[in-house]
Amino acid sequence: MQHPTKSQGFWLVAASIVMSLIFIGISTFRQLTSLENTLLQIFSLALGLTGSFIIGREGAKKAAEDMIKPHARSAFRRVLSLYNSLSRLATAIENQKEQMPSNKAALHSLQMLQGIVIEQLSTADDALEDWKDILPEELNKVGVNSKRELTIGANENE
């Protein structure tokens, strides 16, 4: 279910103000019954409170995002640095495997290391995906590709 937006909150507050003005206008022309008085006040109060709640929630959400983004950027850069370091390590392992195809023991060891690095890359990739919710513009600016092609290259050699 989609949450009401800030503009919808403003509309509810505006409707509350209009209802209050109508209440004042009607009460200047004739005496209102206690039931009419109570109902108009309850409707006006309900609209105003609902609108204020929506506006406040959206304002608090924006303030929280503004407060967390500077800290999130530095943490994102660290995760990105680890991701790039693992990518370089995986590339180096792949290059070493190509240079020694006849040495089965070394090739087996490199394949095991490559499996570990690919698992770590997958974890780092998931961590970067988690950052999409908080810093989507940073992720797009960096242009990180999800799920490295290296995993495909590792599976071909097995």
| Residue spans per domain, the chain | 6-157
Alpha helices in 100-145 (DSSP H): 104-131, 136-142
Dist CA 128 CA 97 (whole Å): 28
Which backbone phi and psi does 57 adopt, to 5 degrees?
-65, -45
Predicted local distance difference test score (pLDDT) of residue 23: 85
Residues 6+ apart with CB under 8 A from 134: 65, 68, 69, 72, 76
Predicted local distance difference test score (pLDDT) of residue 148: 47
Predicted local distance difference test score (pLDDT) of residue 143: 64
Question: What is the 3-state composition of the chain as percent helix, strand, coil, each rounded to the nearest 5?
Answer: 85, 0, 15
Predicted local distance difference test score (pLDDT) of residue 145: 53
Judge contact between 47 and 23, C-beta under 8 A: no
Predicted local distance difference test score (pLDDT) of residue 69: 81
How far out from the chain centre does Cα 18 lie?
37
Query: Which parts of the chain sit beneath pLDDT 70?
Result: 1, 143-158
Token digits for 133?
């919710």
Predicted local distance difference test score (pLDDT) of residue 144: 57
Dist CA 135 CA 104 (whole Å): 44
Token digits for 119?
């698992």
Alpha helices in 4-149 (DSSP H): 6-29, 34-99, 104-131, 136-142
Dist CA 8 CA 23 (whole Å): 22
